Each structure stands twice: as C-alpha cells, then as structure tokens.
Structure 1
Amino acid sequence: MWRHGTSAHLTASCIVLDADRTHVLLTLHAKIGLWLPFGGHFEPEDISIRDAAERETREESGLSGVQLGELVDLDRHALPTSAYSHCTEHLDLRFVGVDPAGRTEPVVSDESDDVRWWPLDALPTPIGADVGRLVRAGIAGVIAPRP
C-alpha cells in the first residue's frame, strides 16, 4: 500500500467528467508523458480508498468540488522503469467523478506538464490505453455522483 513497500503499489485514481459528460479533465503526467486520469499513492492521512482518490484529484487538478461516484474499475499496469526507480507496477482502484460546476478551470500541479478539459470526441494523444474505457463507463451512466 505504501510507496516505500514492495515494487507493486496499491493506488487510487479518478477520471473527471464535466456535468454534461461532454468533456473529460486529464493531466499530462510529467514522468510518463501520457494524458491520464488523476491518481497516485496512498498517504497516511487517507482514511479510505475514496479519500485517497479525492485527495489525488484535488492535488493534481486544483478542483475541490468533484463528486466521486462508486468504485468502477480495478486495473493492474506496469510502469516504465525509466520513470520510476522502485515502483514497477500499480494496482489501481478507479473512480469516475463529475465536476458539478461544469468545467472548472484546473490548476497544473508539479506532477503534471498540463491539465485541461478535452471534448470526448477529440481526446488528446498520447493518451493512456485505458482512458477511453473509463470515459465510456462515465458517459454510459454507470457512474452516478453522490449527493
């Protein structure tokens, strides 16, 4: 679970859609160079998987009002060894969230080269291989934001 543990780490992430589900907010990950959802390692202050996903989303996007739906995906993916020295694999617990305000202006964190909203019919490249699948789950109505 902790980044100083084994080479495979449990992580939490969130793909963020606008209220109309016509745009997705993605981060251009500084180490990996792909457009991805927000996410990362657990921190001691996280009391749940949901807390970790919410915190990572807030830290990496600057958005504080994202409403997370239920856990929708579990993913196991290898990490490029050129980007990470100790961590070689993420076991990622994934949520889809909605920005109820529409498309709030994001803030680029030090973990990203860029953060921006993308129309669902014009996703950026290079993009993580599974981002399309997560977007489709959100726009299909699988994810309902919590009140």
Structure 2
Amino acid sequence: MGMMQEFKEFAMKGNVIDLAVGVIIGAAFGKIVDSLVADVIMPPIGMLLGGLDFANYYVPLNGQAHNLALAEAKKLGAVIAYGNFFTILLNFVILAFVIFQMVRLVAKLRRAEAPAAPAEPAPPSEDIVLLREIRDSLRK
C-alpha cells in the first residue's frame, strides 16, 4: 500500500475530520470570547477601577513615563503588561468554563444513550428441557 493511499485512509477517518471541525469551530469561538471579554466585560471593570482601558495597564521596566499607551511604551522599551495579561487570563477562564460545560453535556448525553445491560437469557422452553432430558437419558 502506497504512502498516499495510507494518508488518504487516515485523513478520511471520522476522528480526523471531527478533530478538524472542532479546531475550526474552536478558533471561531475563541474570537467570540476575545470580543466578549475585550468589548463587553473589560470596559465596565476598567470603569470601576479608575476609568482606564485595562489593556493599557503596564509597568515600564526602563523608567519611562506611565501615561503612554501600551503600544507606545513597548516601542520605548520593555514593559510588564499586566492589564493585557489579566484580559487574556479572563479569556482563558471563560473559554475553559464553556468547554467544561460542553464536555459535561456530551458526557451526560452519552450516559443517556448508553445501552442497557444485556438482559439475562430467557429460560429454555419446556420442549427444549424435555429434549435435553431425553438426550441425557440416551447417553446413559
């Protein structure tokens, strides 16, 4: 079997295609969560904590002024962008929680679909019991 044929069989397996679809949907969902955090959640939190854009909270490591935007401060030297880190951390927590809920739901659905334990076989009919007794007595 040639390598191309093996690759074709591998790529056409259901698990690989499911994984590819999951990665694409996950990337799109990640963008939605990024927007939710950056555009909906962080602005009110920033207002409560002083009215600043949370993404621009940083500590300059080169002694430059604090009043610059993060992009400008990075041009002047190294900074610790803790506001950006907090935003990304919040993205992760929300995304991890949603994925946990989805896995929980799938597990619950799988448990509901699980086949019942196989029932014990019905006892043999009277005809079968009688035939077995005749067979056993003929053997003796």
TM-score, reference length from structure 1:
0.19
Pick the structure with greater CA Rg.
2
More helix by share: 2
TM-score, reference length from structure 2:
0.20
Bigger relative contact order, structure 1 or 2 (CA pairs below 8 A, ≥6 apart) = 1
